[in-house]
Amino acid sequence: MTGRLTIIGLGPGPDRQITPEAKAALAEAKWLLGYGPYLNRLTPGPGQTILPTDNREEAARAAQALDLTAQGETVAMVTGGDPGVFAMAAAVVEQVEQGPPAWRALDIQVIPGITAMLAVAARVGAPLGHDFCALSLSDNLKPWPVVERRLRAAAEGGFVIALYNPRSKARPWQMEAAFTLLRTLLPGTVPVIFGRAVGRPDENLVFTDLARADATQVDMSTCVLIGSDQTKLVERPGREPLVYTPRSIAAS
């Protein structure tokens, strides 16, 4: 009896942004595991069982999925965005590394999805048109000084920065701390975009700049894009501006 575990990214929210490959894998699974709000986006078919867990139970969720797979079950591990970007793919592989030797022989596949920074970037133009990086502001799994060091390196290196997990009720101060640091390294005119729930009915998009960016407008459903000193905002009468980072940089 051979099981299969598929780790699936649902994209940023709208059903139309779930890839055909992901939809096919979801339909084939008997067990659907994941964080509750992500599973709530799905309608289980006949014979499918949903097993929701809390957001901070990634390790236990991954182990449960691997255990079911080892029993010969067809399992889908569901996550938002892309499963390899601050999501469940790494948690599953970590459990494979630490778990029983039999787990290393399991059939495991990761199916990509559209991650939040790509959805927000596409919505506003091309802010990721040149070099960029993605950082998580959460200090649950790494010390805050590491976050600060990486923010500084990204700003000094001229990268556009995409911030995930920017601000929660349990971590209300990190976003403002990040802005405070970046204001010492970048011009205040650098474009900043808050993209919340992009593509969904409750979408909220804010165009601002680093000098005026208000951390209280951000929550865990927001992806924050912070431009480099090369990023430009193109005003358009009667339309939202376009934000882009030029593909070329002059030699210095």
Report pLDDT digits (tens) over 76-119. Answer: 999 999 999 999 999 999 999 999 999 999 999 999 999 999 99
For residue 54, the model assigns a pLDDT of 84
Residue 162 banded pLDDT, cuts 50, 70, 90: very high
Predicted local distance difference test score (pLDDT) of residue 32: 97
Q: Identical fold at 4-114 and 117-244?
A: no
pLDDT recorded at residue 1: 61
Alpha-carbon span 32 to 15, nearest angstrom: 17
* 171-193 residue pLDDT tens: 889 999 999 999 999 999 999 99
The β-bridge partners of 216 are none
Q: Does domain 117-244 have CATH number 3.30.950.10?
A: yes
One-letter amino acid at 78 equals: V
Domain 4-114 classification at class level: alpha beta
For residue 216, is pLDDT > 80? yes
Span 46-71, pLDDT tens digits: 999 999 988 778 999 999 999 999 99
Q: At 16, give phi and psi (nearest 5°).
A: -65, -15
The predicted pLDDT at position 13 comes to 82
Sequence-ordered strand ranges (E) for the chain: 4-9, 31-35, 49-53, 74-79, 107-111, 125-126, 132-136, 160-164, 191-196, 204-209, 222-226, 232-236, 239-244
Is residue 44 very low, low, confident or very high in pLDDT (cuts 50, 70, 90)?
A: very high
The pLDDT of residue 10 is 95
The share of the chain scoring above pLDDT 70, in percent, equals 99
User: Does residue 232 sit in helix, strand or coil?
Assistant: strand
**Domain extent listing, the chain:** 4-114, 117-244
Output DSSP code: residue 25. H
- Output b/e per residue, 42-74; b: 16+ Cβ within 10 A: beeeeebebebbeeeebeebbbbbbbbbbeebb
Cα–Cα dist 25/119, whole Å: 22
Contact indicator for 217, 206 with CB cutoff of 8 Å: yes
Give yes or no for a contact between 244 and 191, defined as CB atoms under 8 angstroms apart. no
The residue-averaged pLDDT of 39-52 equals 93
Q: How many angstroms separate the CA atoms of 37 and 32, rounded?
A: 13
pLDDT for residue 252: 66
Torsion angle defined by CA atoms of residues 52, 53, 55 and 60, in that order, rounded to the nearest 10 degrees:
-130
Confidence of residue 199 (pLDDT cuts 50, 70, 90): confident
